[in-house]
């Protein structure tokens, strides 16, 4: 039977992997400047400085793109909560501390650039956006609150499991949001952010993969806890349910993407269903995970059927309206 390692033991055992992956990240990442991705010449003063306050007609984004941009930005806004979670679990010593600082600085660029773009282009209501930011940041987030385990059972393994999948999910959402904006500037910005998220995911994925090699049963239990209770970090933000449904309905991020583009690539990378080093507890966790994946696939199929019917009804309604308008012209 495998002995479970303590938090401190895990940090010590994985410190070499953390150092190697910090160095890998620094060798691959490219620094960039948020101001280079914002069309400043489109900007103008708001009413407080003698200009005009926001009006919905000023936005060039569709309802879907606007909802996705707001959701993605508010997710980035909760960086202080994420920093606290990671620093408390990783510590600020040696390679762990270096990663915490570097990751936080890189993530901060995302929120800066997205907010500047949205305000300069008047793509969203700035007053409502600020109200949402205050509410969301006031509530904060706890990544390990999604683990399905009690506070005494949560660990660094739950954290690195969660952020592995969350970073990849965020990459997918940003990339698809960029396409939905129908603006080459927004698309370029979100491609840049998505590239960062991918490198962040690789760091966490490699740490978690090393943990699975080190303590297979203990690590797989954490992975299973996280996936079977997974929520995006924006789950508590204002309008999250409405915006989430809109994003899923129009291909920004849905259950099928979650399974096929986020969950399965990582599990395959770790060879979860090919390994033979799990003990009884690991085997039990793997069986739970397999059952979850089967159910997730069924849920995704049901949602796709409902979405297709809904989109078909909307298309038929638009066709009728066009014909009626033509007939009355």
If residue 106 lies in a helix (H) or strand (E), which one and from where to where? helix 94-120
Q: Is 110 flagged in the annotation as binding?
A: yes
DSSP secondary structure letter of residue 271: T
Q: Is 136 flagged in the annotation as binding?
A: no
What is the Cα–Cα distance from 220 to 320, expressed in whole angstroms? 53
Chain centroid to Cα 32, Å, comes to: 21
Residue 324 burial (C-beta neighbours within 10 Å; 0-12, 13-18, 19+): exposed
What residue spans of 121-183 are helical by DSSP H?
A: 126-139, 156-180
Per-residue exposure over 175-209, b if at least 16 CB sit within 10 Å of its own CB, e if not: bbbbebbebeebbebbebbbbbbbbbbbbbbbbbb
Whether the CB-CB separation of 71 and 243 falls below 8 Å is answered with yes
Q: Is 167 flagged in the annotation as binding?
A: yes
* Token couple for 13: 């055992």
Cα dihedral sign, 117-237-143-304: negative
DSSP secondary structure letter of residue 28: H
Q: Is 35 flagged in the annotation as binding?
A: no
Q: Could you give the maximum distance between any two Cα atoms of the chain, in Å?
A: 79
Say whether 226 sits in a helix, a strand or coil: helix
What is the Cα–Cα distance from 154 to 147, expressed in whole angstroms? 7
Q: Is 250 flagged in the annotation as binding?
A: no
Whether the CB-CB separation of 17 and 210 falls below 8 Å is answered with yes
Q: Is 197 flagged in the annotation as binding?
A: yes
| Residue list for the binding site | 76, 107, 110, 167, 197, 200
| Residue list for the binding site for Fe cation | 76, 107, 110, 167, 197, 200
């Amino acid at each position: 039977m495998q002995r479970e390692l303590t938090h401190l033991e895990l940090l010590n055992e994985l410190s070499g992997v953390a150092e190697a992956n910090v160095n890998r990240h620094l060798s691959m990442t490219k620094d960039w400047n948020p101001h280079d991705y914002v069309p400043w010449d489109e900007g103008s003063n708001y009413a407080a400085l003698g200009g005009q306050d926001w009006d919905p007609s000023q936005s060039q984004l569709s309802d879907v793109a606007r909802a996705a941009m707001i959701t993605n930005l508010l997710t980035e806004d909760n960086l202080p909560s994420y920093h606290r979670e990671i620093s408390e679990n990783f510590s600020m010593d040696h390679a762990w501390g270096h990663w915490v600082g570097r990751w936080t600085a890189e993530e901060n660029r995302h929120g800066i650039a997205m907010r500047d773009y949205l305000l300069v282009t008047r793509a969203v209501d700035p007053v409502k956006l600020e109200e949402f930011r205050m509410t969301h940041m006031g509530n904060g987030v706890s990544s390990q609150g999604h683990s399905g385990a009690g506070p005494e059972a949560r660990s660094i393994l739950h954290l690195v499991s969660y952020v592995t999948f969350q970073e990849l999910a965020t990459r997918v959402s940003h990339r698809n949001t960029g396409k939905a904006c129908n603006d080459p500037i927004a698309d370029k910005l979100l491609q840049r952010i998505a590239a960062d998220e991918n490198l962040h995911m690789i760091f966490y994925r490699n740490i978690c993969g090393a943990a699975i090699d080190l303590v297979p049963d203990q690590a797989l239990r954490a992975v299973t806890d996280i996936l079977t209770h997974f929520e995006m970090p924006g789950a508590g933000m204002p309008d999250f349910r409405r915006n989430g449904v809109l994003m899923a309905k129009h291909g920004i991020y849905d259950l099928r993407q979650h399974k096929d583009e986020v969950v399965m690539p990582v599990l395959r990378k770790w060879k979860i269903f090919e390994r033979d080093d799990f003990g009884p507890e690991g085997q039990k966790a793997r069986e739970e995970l397999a059952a979850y994946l089967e159910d997730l696939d069924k849920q995704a199929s049901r949602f796709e059927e409902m979405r297709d019917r809904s989109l078909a009804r909307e298309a038929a309604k638009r066709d009728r309206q066009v014909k009626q308008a033509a007939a009355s012209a």
